[in-house]
Amino acid sequence: MTETFSHAMSGHIMYGNLDDLDRDIIAELRHDSRQSNVEIAKRLNISNHTVHRRLQKLINDRTIRLITTVNAESFGFAGSLIGGIHVNRGQVGTAVEELLALTNVLTISETTGRYDILVWAIYRNPDDLYDFLVNRLGAIHSIATTEAMINLRTVKTPFQKVHIDDPRNVTELHNLQSIDRRIVEQLVIDPRLNTTELSRNLGVAWNTAHRRLDRLLREGVIRTIVRVGPAALGYRLNISFLIRIRSGEVESVASTLSTFDEILTVAICTGTWDIMATAIFRDADEMSAFIRNRMDHISGIINLETNIGLQTVRRSGY
């Protein structure tokens, strides 16, 4: 988890370097990312030009990103895993390029620490999981070893469900009816296209575009969201915490971790680690203070390791 964006960060950590109007515009987009500039201007009692100028600057500065995603469950993906990957010396770049070709890999992060790369991936069933770990990852010769941690439950995440950022990469997209698939493809290009624009672009009746889009959104097959970039707000350190927990205390530790603003994701896993959590900090001093003042005081933690994110090549879903 080469962009680092979070969708649902809340509280003071989110908007530290933005003025009130920027915060209000982002809040409106988080409430309904498909509303038009005119609607935002009316709600905030400002001009349409001001909304357009502010929004364009937020996008150009990479403070926010507007995207359309598809719900992985809609295409039969039933589970997710975290892969801690050790790469043959000097071949991290090669491994990343080959991992990018695997469409069920949601997030690829180059890290320092125990692992060279951390990936989040999704699978449909045990056979698909086996194929991914043994055949698809096994075919990447730049990978030396992989430690797989099955995600049993995600306690905290910026997303209500696992979503895929670029649905054009999902081969199962062809299972959608032609018009639905074309709507999704249009919204990937411009998530804020309105029904009139969709109708014109696709050459279909307005009522048809409206009905199809409403169903896709209502059934949760797709959604359009705004992601806020922590790096643009001064949070330049991305950390993955790998945690071993005393028997019987996993739930309580996960619950405690999920209350911290700095923590973006908390996943309870099987395998080498009991919990993996991702977090953001402004710098190493802030991270160190967090570990000393927060993590070290959580009862039940036996061992804690940190992996520092060097670069997130693909982020999607978490």
Domains of the chain plus CATH, in order, are 74-160+231-314 (3.30.70.100)
CA nearest to 222, candidates 212, 231, 230: 212
- Residue 231: how many CB atoms within 10 A of its CB? 16
Considering the chain, what percentage of its residues have pLDDT values greater than 70?
A: 86
pLDDT at residue 255, as a whole number: 97
pLDDT at residue 9, as a whole number: 43
pLDDT at residue 3, as a whole number: 35
**CB neighbour burial string for 250-269, b if at least 16 within 10 angstroms, e if fewer:** beebbebbeebebbbbbbbb
- Residue 111: how many CB atoms within 10 A of its CB? 23
Considering the chain, what percentage of its residues have pLDDT values greater than 90?
A: 60
Indicate if the pLDDT at residue 172 is higher than 60: no
Joined together, the tokens standing for residue 142 give 């730049």
Sign of torsion, CA 157 188 227 132? positive
Rounded to whole angstroms, how far apart are CA atoms 110 and 176?
Answer: 34
Confidence class of residue 5 from pLDDT cuts 50, 70 and 90?
very low
pLDDT at residue 7, as a whole number: 36
- Most confident segment among 6-20, 22-36, 82-96: 82-96
Going across the sheet that includes 64-71, the strands are: 163-164, 64-71, 222-228
The answer to whether 7 touches 226, Cβ cutoff 8 Å, is yes
Higher pLDDT: 73 or 276? It is 276
The answer to whether 44 touches 25, Cβ cutoff 8 Å, is yes
Indicate if the pLDDT at residue 231 is higher than 90: no
Q: Averaged over 62-68, what is the pLDDT? A: 86
CA nearest to 243, candidates 157, 156, 291, 302: 302
Q: Give tens-digit pLDDT for 258-294.
A: 999 999 999 999 999 999 999 999 999 999 999 999 9
pLDDT at residue 2, as a whole number: 32
pLDDT at residue 173, as a whole number: 53
Q: Give tens-digit pLDDT for 106-146.
A: 889 999 999 999 999 999 999 999 999 999 999 999 999 99
Confidence class of residue 315 from pLDDT cuts 50, 70 and 90?
low
Rounded to whole angstroms, how far apart are CA atoms 64 and 27?
Answer: 12
pLDDT at residue 230, as a whole number: 77
Helices 178-189 and 195-202 cross at an angle (nearest 10°) of 120
Residue 297 DSSP SS3? helix
CA nearest to 1, candidates 151, 107, 117: 107
Confidence class of residue 160 from pLDDT cuts 50, 70 and 90?
very low
End-to-end Cα separation, the chain, in angstroms = 7
Query: DSSP for 69-116?
Result: EEEGGGGT--EEEEEEEEE-TT-HHHHHHHHHT-TTEEEEEEEESS-S
pLDDT at residue 14, as a whole number: 47
Q: Averaged over 240-245, what is the pLDDT? A: 97
Q: Averaged over 164-172, what is the pLDDT? A: 52
Joined together, the tokens standing for residue 159 give 């997303």
Indicate if the pLDDT at residue 170 is higher than 70: no
What DSSP character marks residue 184? H
